[in-house]
Every structure is written in C-alpha cells, then in structure tokens.
Amino acid sequence: MRHELPMRASALTRATRFNNIGLVGWAVTTGSVVVYDAWALKTKRPTMSRTLGHYLAHPIVGPVLAGIWMGLSYHLLVEELLPAFFDERFSRTTPSGFSRKL
C-alpha cells in the first residue's frame, strides 16, 4: 500500500520551500542596501535610504513608489503561498478516506 502525504503537509512543504527562497532574496537585497549605504556614508554621497525617503515624501511620486514596493513585496513573498493555502483549505476527505476537491 502506497502512503501519500496529506494535502496539508504537501502544501506546507511547498509554502515553506518558497518562503525560504523569498527570505534569501530579501537577505541579499537588505545586504546590498546596507553595503551601498555604508559606501555612500564613507564617500559623503546620499544614501539609498535617504533617497528613497526623499521620493516617498513627494505627494505624487510617494504613493506610486509605495504601491510599486508593495506590489513587488506581494509578488516575491505572498503570491506563491496563496495557491498552497487554498489547495489545503478547499480540499476535503470523504468519510471513506478518499480525497476529493470541491
């Protein structure tokens, strides 16, 4: 008899694997910003954080830039987790033990 992982464990494994990739991406991005900011401070140039703050304070560019940032964050961190969540939530097991999709 072949044992299969329940849908919940399978979805959790996919979500965890994707989440780890996202965390690595954010770690590289954060490290790049810190290194660039350290270089900018040493050479007396505007830091990336100061430049981002300057543009976020603009009444038109600020909300657009914030929306782009939120969209990128959603795409990188959340988008792949939703199918795994809904697969787990909407799959049911019949009383006889067979799995079925609703």
* 45 inside domain: yes
CA distances from 52 to 42, 46, 60, 61, 70 (A): 19, 10, 14, 11, 14
Residue 56 — pLDDT band, cuts 50, 70, 90? very high
Residue 34 is part of which domain span? 24-88
* 58 inside domain: yes
- What value does the mean pLDDT take over residues 28-42? 94
For residues 49 and 16, the model is more confident at 49
* 95 inside domain: no
Q: What is the pLDDT of residue 73?
A: 84
Provide the number of structural domains found in the chain.
1
Render 33-84 in DSSP notation, one character per residue: HHHHHHHHHHTT---HHHHHHHHHTSTTHHHHHHHHHHHHHIIIIITTHHHH
Is the CB of residue 47 less than 8 Å from the CB of residue 41?
Answer: yes
What average pLDDT is seen over the chain? 76
Token pair in block for residue 75 = 């795409």
Is the CB of residue 15 less than 8 Å from the CB of residue 85?
Answer: yes
Chain segment 80-102, per-residue pLDDT in tens: 777 766 666 666 555 555 555 55
Chain segment 5-29, per-residue pLDDT in tens: 455 555 556 555 656 777 888 899 8
| Cross-strand partners of 93 | 99
- Provide the angle, in degrees to the nearest 10, between the axes of the packed helices 81-90 and 7-42: 160
* 63 inside domain: yes
pTM > 0.85: yes or no: no
The CA-based diameter of the chain, rounded to the nearest angstrom, is: 71
Q: What is the pLDDT of residue 74?
A: 85
* 82 inside domain: yes
For residues 1 and 40, the model is more confident at 40
